Chain A
């Protein structure tokens, strides 16, 4: 998987969120006390713009009359039906087994290691997972042009390749929101799966079984 640059850390102070469109996916990145989390801006319930909802804490109770209110700012409430989701994991609180918002792990990297010569000295937030092998980065090249939030199609280059000067020059304005790569283990055109596992829109039985976990 490629890692993709989202924004300089300075653009995302704690308690704020940033909205991006990556590969036609609406995604928001949140800063919770210095940690970063990405969430798909689509509620799994009925498709509302989940990430535009208010940030709240978690109200829990073991006994009527006692309430514990913790994790302020780490739960997001959908602007439509008010469903609560954990920003860190996408887990829902009304039915964690069945509903989850799509979460994208995010982390900070020194800017210099991401794009040489462009964001020297600044940290950037990247989305996606990385695996370190032999000291370098493992890259999966998507193989096609992905659309950046800037609107123009731009080839997202693996980090190693960016270390060349020519690539750095080609990759203008790297602090602009870049592309997100998702694991494409099944490139099928299914409509969004509705909440209940028996409400399939289309697709083969084999595929249904494999995706049963959703």
Chain B
């Protein structure tokens, strides 16, 4: 079969969707590791980091398991020409991704920050430093990009203070949590975070990964990275079930949450299972006044990467019908290696209205106009 080649388009260059898109999961990286945060960190933390380092809640090993299948878990062709790790150069991100893909709205989700570390003062200091860094290096330089408020997730009063500090700042469009925490995310120790987010009118994004000291599975530590990859769904299910069943959405009827990078194919089956159990055990959780699936349909958005990829597209459409075409937020996860090329994720058979919602309009509605 003949492939149609556009002249001038290099291999690996985006074919583009043809219209503007949102990218609800971009990972900006730092050229020089933690040192790039020093301008935003008090001096006492410089020395602390160099002498003691960051201690995450992570059993069995001292740090996160890298490389993850590709260097820095990122595309090999995403190294900026001027040096530094993938994702550390705004100009190269613009050139390789934002411009050719017509990203009209890009949501930053910084990782390897102070989230999930045990020294809570350091966690809070790093969180606010990363937020300053996002403004200085990213959102302040490219108005298409919007930041996420990184918070000290295990110290919720400190996290709430950081959210209040940034409230009203148009550089930020959501609060960022990770899916692996010390306790399931619906529990009361995390409620001040949701209180502050609801107060600020911001959605809360829950991104895959993190450090909680707990295995990614419900039954122990897996052997392979591939188990970790599919385990993100399990983590997110724990978080979501907890949030719904602890009554977070009863407490905050207007709060929206975004499940980031954990898939959405499991959403219908989890919801059916929750509903069935709730019908039988409603008296244990009387504060859950509606079927759990209703909370999920009303409050939860899902980023699409890594896109579900069943053999039959009608299976995919069935799942999306349940989740809602109005609840999907397109994301690429640039520059990570499991990047989703925008022009290749949707099979044919999608209406124009749904395509438009999928690629941009849902994100615009949730995060505010670009």
CB within 8 Å of B: which A77-122 residues:
79-82, 102
Q: Please indicate the chain A residues that have their CB under 8 angstroms from the CB of B347 in the complex.
A: 194, 196, 198-199
Q: Does B283 contact A (CB under 8 A)?
A: no
Cβ–Cβ < 8 Å partners of B81 in chain A: none
Within 8 A of A (CB), among B335-350: 337-341, 343-344, 347-348
Chain A minimum-CB-distance residue to B338? A81
Chain B nearest CB from A84 CB (Å) reads 12
Residues B348 and A200 in contact, CB atoms below 8 Å apart: yes
B269 close to chain A: CB less than 8 A: no
CB distance from A111 to the nearest CB of B (A): 29
In the complex, are the beta carbons of A25 and B5 less than 8 A apart?
Answer: yes
Judging by beta carbons under 8 Å apart, are B77 and A48 in contact? yes
Interface residues of A in 8-46 (CB under 8 A from B): 23-26, 41-42, 45-46
Are A82 and B69 closer than 8 Å at their CB atoms? yes
CB-based contact A214/B1 at 8 Å: yes
- Does B220 touch A at the CB level, under 8 Å? no
Interface of A is mostly: loop
| Chain A interface size, under 10 / 10 to 19 / 20 to 34 / 35 or more | 35 or more
A53 and B76 within 8 A (CB): yes
Q: CA A102 – CA B11 in complex, angstroms?
A: 13
Q: Does B279 contact A (CB under 8 A)?
A: no
Which of B3, B5, B11, B15 is A49 in contact with, Cβ under 8 Å? B11
* Distance, CA A188 to CA B4, complexed state (A): 9
Whether, in the assembled complex, A150 has its beta carbon less than 8 Å from a beta carbon of chain B, the answer is: no
Q: How far is the CB of B318 from chain A (nearest CB, A)?
A: 14
Interface readout for B113-157 with A: 1 if CB under 8 Å, 0 if not?
000000000000000000000000000000000000000000000
Whether B348 lies near A182 (C-beta < 8 A) is no
Closest B residue by C-beta to A51: B11
Q: A49-B11, A196-B311 are in contact. Are A81 and B1 (CB under 8 A)?
A: no
Asked if B83 is an interface residue, CB under 8 A from chain A, the answer is no
CA A189 to CA B311, docked complex, whole Å: 25
Encode B289-332 as 1/0 by CB contact (under 8 A) with A.
00000000000000000000001110000000000000000000
Give chain B interface residues in 1-51, CB to chain A under 8 Å. 1-7, 10-12, 15
The secondary structure that dominates the B interface is loop
Contact A186 B1 (CB under 8 A): yes
Which of B3, B6, B311, B339 gathers the greatest number of chain A CB atoms within 10 Å?
B3
Most buried by B among A23, A184, A199: A199
Q: CB distance A199 to B313 under 8 Å?
A: yes
Residue of A nearest to B343 (CB): A47
Residues of A within 8 A of B76 (CB): 52-54, 79-80
Rounded to whole Å, the gap between the CB of A197 and the closest CB of chain B is: 10
Chain B contacts for A25, CB-based, 8 A: 5
Kindly identify which residue among B4, B5, B337 contacts A80, using a CB–CB cutoff of 8 Å.
B337
Q: Are A191 and B4 in contact (CB under 8 A)?
A: yes
Contact yes or no, A190 B4, CB < 8 A: yes
Number of interchain pairs (Cβ within 8 Å): 88
A107 to B271, CA, bound (A): 59
Contact of A52 among B77, B312, B337, B338 (CB under 8 A): B77
B344 and A49 within 8 A (CB): no
A80, closest chain B residue (CB): B75
Would you call B11 and A26 a contact (CB within 8 A)?
A: yes
Are A190 and B75 in touch, CB under 8 angstroms? no
Known: A182-B2, A188-B2, A211-B1. A79 touches B7 (CB 8 A): no
Interface size class of B (residues with CB under 8 A): 20 to 34
When A47-B15, A52-B12 are in contact, do A79 and B344 touch as well, CB less than 8 Å? no
Cβ–Cβ contact A42 & B3, under 8 A: yes
Whether B2 pairs with A49 at a CB distance below 8 angstroms is no
Cβ B75 vs Cβ A79 within 8 A:
yes
Task: Please measure, in the bound complex, the distance between the C-alpha atom of A177 and the C-alpha atom of B120, giving whole angstroms.
Answer: 61
B94 close to A (CB within 8 Å): no
B112 interface hit (Cβ, 8 Å):
no
A56 at the interface (CB under 8 A from B): no
Residues from 181 to 214 in A contacting B, C-beta threshold 8 Å? 182, 184, 186-194, 196, 198-201, 211, 214
Residues on B with C-beta less than 8 A from A47 are 11-12, 15, 341, 343-344
**Complex interface: chain A residues within 8 A of B3 (CB):** 42, 102, 190, 192
Which residue in chain A gives the minimum CB-CB distance to B312?
A198
For B312, the chain A residues whose CB sits under 8 A away are: 196, 198
- Decide if A48 touches B11 in the complex (CB within 8 Å): yes
Q: How far is the CA of A190 from the CA of B348 in the complex (A)?
A: 13
Does A157 interact with chain B (Cβ within 8 Å)? no
A50 within 8 Å of B (CB atoms): yes
Contact A186–B2 (Cβ < 8 Å)? yes
> Which chain A residue shows the least CB distance to B349?
A199
Name the distance in Å between A145's Cβ and chain B's nearest Cβ.
Answer: 14
Q: Bound state CA distance, A52 and B76, in angstroms?
A: 8
In the assembled complex, the Cα of A186 lies from the Cα of B3 at a distance in Å of: 11
Given contacts A102-B3, A198-B347, 10 further A-B contacts (CB under 8 A): A47-B344, A48-B12, A48-B341, A54-B76, A80-B12, A81-B339, A186-B1, A187-B2, A191-B4, A199-B313
Which residues of chain A have a CB within 8 Å of any CB of chain B? 23-26, 41-42, 45-54, 79-82, 102, 182, 184, 186-194, 196, 198-201, 211, 214
Top-3 shortest CB links A-B: A49-B12, A79-B76, A49-B11
Q: What are 8 A-B contacts with C-beta separation under 8 Å?
A: A24-B6, A46-B341, A47-B341, A48-B11, A52-B12, A80-B75, A82-B69, A188-B2
